[in-house]
Chains A and B, each alone.
Chain A
Amino acid sequence: MSDDRRRGNRTLALLAVTIVLAYAVPYGLLRDQPVWQGAFLFWLVFGVVAIGLIAWLVSDWRP
């Protein structure tokens, strides 16, 4: 397996884990936390991380 392919697979796996966390953390660890620093902040960070991972995933494309 080439390095590019391995990196791509790793990024996809990270994206998948991030998406699972978008369900698990707000409904688990942060459940019933009535503050901005709870689910709101977590989902904001999740959005930024997910966008970053997608950008990383496509950065290798050679048009």
Chain B
Amino acid sequence: MTLGLIGALAVYALIGIGVAFAARRGLGAGATEYYLAGRRAGGLISALSYGATTYSAFMMVGLAGLTYAGGVGALGFELVYLAGLGLVAIFGPRFWLASRAFGFITPAEMLSHRYASRWVGGVMAVTACVFLIPYSAVQLMGIGYLVSGLTDMAIGFEQGILIGAALALIWTLAAGMRSVLWTDALQVVVMLVTSLIAAGFVIAALGGPAAFLESTQADHGEWLSVPGPGLFSLTTFFALTVPWFFFSISNPQVSQRLFTTESIGAMRRMLLGFLLLGFVYTLISVVWGFSALQLVPDLDQPDLATPRLLATDAIPAPVAIVLVVGIVAAAVSTVDSILLSLSSLAARDLYRPLAPRGSHEMIAGQAVILVVTVLAVLFARLQLDLITVLSVAASSGLLVTVPSIVGCFFWRRGTAAGAIVSMVVAGVTVTVLQLTGFDPLGIPASICGGALAVALFVGVSLATRPDSARADAFLAPVEQGLAQHRIR
């Protein structure tokens, strides 16, 4: 197992490095080329990359663990997220049209322009860093635990972290968004195929699909109901689903993808391709979790369901090895997209306003990729609970940017002060609530943070003077483009 896994990881790394450097061919100069692949990404590769970026190690480890602990609610949670992609049907073309009209590279830049204040984008960039660096660290920790556990420490925890970080770093630095797109496309295929094969083996070990359905219902019927064994109360379900519903516009590593497609048609293919991929991968992960319930029952820690399942006889060693490579691919493909997105935010929304000529903007961006990688590795090595809390809080934390993003296109009365106050105050509040575990009046922190952000954005905007001329100038080309493309 150990030698096989080391060999498989080496093959995966070498192929990925080859693909990343192949992507350098045809790479032009400048920030648009580096961060947005020259805005020439096709629909299929965008769909694959969007899938690889969105779905991290969380799916086959975390979602499987959630299913193991809480049952069918995990399926509802993930499918409500998928339905949230309806937001891409609304905001996708608007992001795309605005970025073409004004040359935006980051979503934060778009907000800065719309609200006529550099501070808005700066605050959004800082918010993204605060929540996404710990989130990346947890991905690396996942690789560390999985690889060290399955190789009996032949590859240590820290080595696992470093391998994941090095791959993400190389694949990001090689050719920016181009290498991320190409390696993501490779990785999502690895993720899907390996998980499908592994799920097939566990179902077969349980006697086939009919026997699996029957025995699950007979032995773990409670897991097929809600609230089920207890994890998925309606309140918890709300707390989990609301931030994730808005993930496609609140998380810059995915919302930035709305700037990269070559056309509106390519964006449509990206959206539909991703929905199909997401539906299949969700089903596989949930079925995997249900299988673990029967094959490795009574685990104290549900997150161990996947590693323990891989160690059973149900899965031949070669299949376990490829699945681990698939999970590592899922984690690395998420981390590299986050690295690139945070690099662009730091370079365009924090560095450039301070150095207006922007002469070293690209170097600054690449330096940020290095710094963020080092920070993520350091955070991961600390193995602090705080990191896990912050990473869980990531989607809740980034939810506070949603009112400003929505207001950008749908509320001319929205102001820079409203955007800044809502992001800062609600962002700090939701972080404190998550860290202390305090739910005011029993309302989950994520819902409180979101509601507070809406109230502050509306309240402060109404109390301050809007820049109507800027709002009109921003929205004019967007509305014209929407009419031209027959988009509502």
Give me the interface of A with B, judged by CB distance under 8 Å.
Answer: 4-5, 8-9, 12, 15, 18-19, 22-23, 26-27, 30-36, 38-40, 43-44, 46-48, 50-51, 53-55, 57-58, 60-63
Cα separation A37 to B132 with both chains bound (whole Å) = 38
Between B83, B234, B238, B279, the greatest number of chain A beta carbons within 10 A of the residue's beta carbon is seen for B83
18 further interface pairs, Cβ-Cβ under 8 Å (given A50-B79, A61-B485): A9-B488, A23-B234, A23-B237, A26-B76, A35-B217, A35-B224, A36-B216, A39-B225, A39-B226, A40-B224, A44-B75, A46-B83, A48-B279, A51-B276, A54-B271, A55-B272, A55-B275, A61-B93
Contacts A34-B225, A47-B82, A54-B271 hold; do A40 and B75 have CB atoms under 8 A apart?
Answer: yes
A48 to B276 alpha-carbon distance, docked (Å): 9
Mark interface residues in B467-488 (1 if CB within 8 Å of A CB, else 0): 0000000000000000011111
Contact, CB under 8 Å: B82 / A4: no
Interface contacts (Cβ under 8 Å), in number, total: 126
Q: How far is the CB of B212 from chain A (nearest CB, A)?
A: 10
**Complex contacts, B279 vs chain A, CB 8 Å:** 47-48, 51
Are B268 and A63 interface neighbours, CB within 8 A?
A: yes
The answer to the question of B191 belonging to the interface, with a C-beta cut-off of 8 Å to chain A, is no
Q: How many residues of B contact A (CB 8 A)?
A: 44
CB distance A58 to B271 under 8 Å?
yes
Cα distance A46–B80 in the bound complex, in angstroms: 9
With A19-B80, A62-B485, A63-B263: A31-B268 Cβ-Cβ less than 8 Å: no
Shortest CB-to-CB span from A18 to chain B, Å, is 7
Contact B488 A50 (CB under 8 A): no
Tell me the nearest residue of chain B to A5, going by C-beta.
B488
Q: Is there a chain A Cβ closer than 8 Å to B386's Cβ?
A: no
- A60 to B85: give the CA distance in the assembly, Å: 17
**A54 to B221, alpha carbons, bound, how many Å?**
33
A contact residues around B275 at 8 Å (CB): 51, 54-55
Given the contacts A39-B72, A58-B89, A31 and B79 also touching, CB distance less than 8 Å: no
Q: Does B103 contact A (CB under 8 A)?
A: no
